[in-house]
Amino acid sequence: AQRLMPALALLAAASAGISLWATAIAVLAAFYLPECALAWSKGWYLSPRMVAAIMARDLILPAMWARGWLGGAVDWRGNAMTIGTKTAELEETPSGA
């Protein structure tokens, strides 16, 4: 639901006749300034390129999520994981009776 907020804010601004550019800037500031403030307060690396990387991350998250659900396998930190159920077939062996 949080990821829908920027689109909903732009839609509401368009309906109310408010400048879309001003709304877009306000939405971007509301979403990315807290993250930048946290990075700055913790002494983490922060640059204009980092802000662009954060935006790119948020743009590709839905595709990554869909790929995880629809794909058959995922590499997580170098560990290959298969998604789905494996069928186990019992092999019948002759009993010694």
What pLDDT, on the 0 to 100 scale, is given for residue 53? 92
Where residue 78 falls among pLDDT bands split at 50, 70, 90?
confident
The DSSP result for 21-63, as a single string, is HHHHHHHHHHHHHHHHHHHHHTT----HHHHHHHHHHHHHHHH
What pLDDT, on the 0 to 100 scale, is given for residue 97? 59
**Mean pLDDT in residue range 5-23:** 80
Helix (H) or strand (E) holding 76: strand 73-76
Which pTM does this prediction carry?
0.56
Distance CA(81)–CA(65), nearest Å, equals 15
Instruction: Say if CB 73 and CB 81 are below 8 A apart.
Output: yes
